[in-house]
Amino acid sequence: MIIGLTGSLCAGKGTVAEFLKGKGLERSVSLSDIMDQELQILGIQASESLFQKSRRVKPRHLAMIEADLAVSELRDEHGYHIGIISGLTNVHQVTELKKLTSFYLIGVTSPPEVRFFRAQKAQKIGPDASLDNFREIDAVYSGQIGGSLRNISDCLPLSDVLIENHGTLEDLHGKCEKAYDYLRKKSISDMRPGWDDYFLKVALLVAERATCFRHAIGAVIVKDKRILTTGYNGAPSGVEDCLEKGFCVKDKLGLPSALAQERCQAVHAEQNALIQASSHGVGVAGATMYCTHTPCYVCAKSIVNAQIKKVVTFSEYPDGEFGPLFKEAGVEFVKHTKPSERIQYRP
């Protein structure tokens, strides 16, 4: 889980970050630091004002660079993204990061009078500064004036959790605890795949057993949310497969995929799943077949006769003849988006 922080000047973002570090989000990266590094690479000096920088680089382009770099720095040794991104001041940054299912934004706000007092106490403003002076500084910081890359007022409405920090430190820690607990539960819920993604992921895993040089295809037959059988494309039982032979017969003959299927010794994934059901006396009438690819016409006929009522897939096999057959036979076909190949295991 990655938690981003945005908010007003002296609202308490640093205190929230320290609290989150105590919850195990020890890795932290600042987008303002990344921005200066990238601008220098682009030939723009960090000493330039935000207004000058904003005139010399496209905010959306810069936000994409910043988001990618920040996320890469928060990847742990297992490949998971865990940590805190501070310094979120631009809506393009937030938009890019929100494309990640593991990213959540906490906004921190507080009344100007309270923040003015904190700024004085922390000596972030001069002892003679007035509340009006602070409001002017705050307006520049938030991007309300000055024409800078900042637009914090547009970032705050995008927050998954908004913390109003106008009480004691104990009050803030209590709100942080509730926010963290909510986001932790939400992250677990968001990581949990829906049924279609779940079974298509299983089909992807089954496909890893394929022995075909051209296509790795996996099929899973499901009924009432229970897996009945699986199948992948490979040689018939007891017959040397292409990996063992070291070559593809159709490649040697110069035959394209989906044509002259009788010259290919492989049994297709869909056929193997149906054969497994038949061999073990498992009824598949009314079931759904999840497959990595659309079926060839031969497999489509077998699917219809097996009374499979629905086929879900995300990729296309070079034989599109199944469509009219499915339509006439009343087999529902669903083209799903490809599920993530990542296993979101939580140790």
Residues 6 or more apart whose CB falls under 8 angstroms from that of 322 comprise 294, 295, 296, 297, 299, 300, 333
Nearest CA among 239, 205, 203, 243 for reference residue 222: 203
- How far is CA 156 from each of CA 7, 62, 93, 169, 247, rounded to the nearest angstrom? 7, 20, 12, 22, 59
Report how far residue 302's alpha carbon sits from residue 308's, in angstroms, rounded to the nearest whole number.
9
List 164, 270, 316, 332, catalytic entry: 270
Report how far residue 135's alpha carbon sits from residue 126's, in angstroms, rounded to the nearest whole number.
14
Count other C-beta atoms under 10 Å from residue 46's C-beta: 12
Q: Are 309 and 224 in contact (CB under 8 A)?
A: no
Report how far residue 35's alpha carbon sits from residue 95's, in angstroms, rounded to the nearest whole number.
16
Q: Are 170 and 26 in contact (CB under 8 A)?
A: no
Lay out the sheet containing 103-109: strands in order across: 28-30, 83-86, 2-7, 103-109, 161-164
Catalytic residue list contains 270: yes
Catalytic residue list: 270
